[in-house]
């Protein structure tokens, strides 16, 4: 059996998923990285994982397609066996979608896409993979600081992440008898390619938000990845059912 812990990070082909995979690998964790179809992006993630001395495997997964979860779980089991393991230690539910618009501009199909991906997909993926989670495993669900403060045109996205936080608390109680910790982590404004890379590329937006954070700037992807890896560590083994915000003190 491998002595290394094994983590699965969804949506690890870019942004926070990539930074999380690298942060975990830097701590000696083997990483299964998933993507919905961005082969080039996930190859870059694997390259960065290996550059810090880590090991990575790639599986394709669309979390909006719940019917694919059973065969995906079988694929994951085979990958674990390839690494001489039988259990998954860490599940990071990072993959999600954001569609933004004012109340009058939100179409029903946009609402359904956000909820089906961020809430339905996250819930049923946990359900599908719980049988593979080790005793004392960790589930980390990525939320957003927008569940605490408000911003125009984000109502549907914020509501979907608030639902993820509620799921996290309830599942922490349900899975606690197996020693499985379930937490949500809520990034604040971060310079990634999410939402078209606005936070990364729009200098005026960055400056405006930087002036409204306690630490005077927006976050970097590596800072979120490090926080997730820390929350998955033994050092925080007594933390469960919590929402941890990583926002540099945004909009206090």
- What residues are labeled active site? 157
Residues 6+ apart with CB under 8 A from 102: 152, 153
CB atoms within 10 A of CB 116: 16
Give buried/exposed letters for 158-169 (b at 16+ CB in 10 A, else e): bbbbbbbbebbb
Residues 6+ apart with CB under 8 A from 189: 145, 199, 206, 209, 213, 218, 219, 247, 250
Secondary structure (3-state) at 56: strand
CB atoms within 10 A of CB 135: 10
The neighbouring-strand residues paired with 186 are 245
Which CA distances in Å does 179 have to 57, 134, 135, 138, 239?
26, 9, 6, 9, 11
52 close to 134: Cβ distance less than 8 angstroms = no
Which CA distances in Å does 145 have to 151, 185, 187?
10, 9, 6
């Amino acid at each position: 059996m491998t002595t290394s812990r094994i983590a699965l990070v969804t949506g690890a082909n870019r942004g926070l998923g990539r930074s999380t995979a690298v942060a975990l690998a830097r701590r000696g964790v083997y990483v299964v990285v998933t993507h919905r179809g961005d082969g080039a992006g996930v190859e870059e993630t694997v390259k960065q994982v290996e550059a810090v001395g880590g090991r990575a495997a790639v599986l394709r997964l669309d979390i909006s397609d719940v019917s694919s979860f059973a065969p995906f779980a079988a694929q994951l089991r085979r990958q674990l066996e390839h690494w001489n393991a039988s259990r998954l230690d860490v599940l990071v539910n990072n993959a999600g979608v954001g569609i933004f618009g004012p109340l009058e501009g939100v179409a029903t199909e946009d609402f359904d896409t956000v909820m089906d991906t961020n809430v339905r997909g996250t819930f049923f993926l946990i359900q599908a993979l719980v049988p593979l989670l080790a005793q004392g495993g960790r589930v980390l669900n990525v939320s957003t600081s927008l569940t605490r403060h408000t911003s125009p045109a984000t109502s549907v996205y914020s509501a979907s992440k608030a639902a993820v936080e509620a799921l996290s608390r309830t599942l922490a109680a349900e899975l606690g008898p197996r020693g499985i910790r379930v937490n949500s982590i809520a990034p604040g404004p971060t310079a990634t390619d999410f939402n078209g890379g606005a936070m990364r590329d729009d200098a005026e937006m960055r400056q405006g938000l930087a002036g409204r954070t306690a630490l005077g700037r927006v976050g970097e992807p590596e800072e979120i990845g490090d926080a997730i890896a820390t929350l998955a560590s033994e050092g925080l083994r007594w933390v469960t059912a919590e929402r941890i915000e990583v926002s540099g003190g945004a909009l206090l």
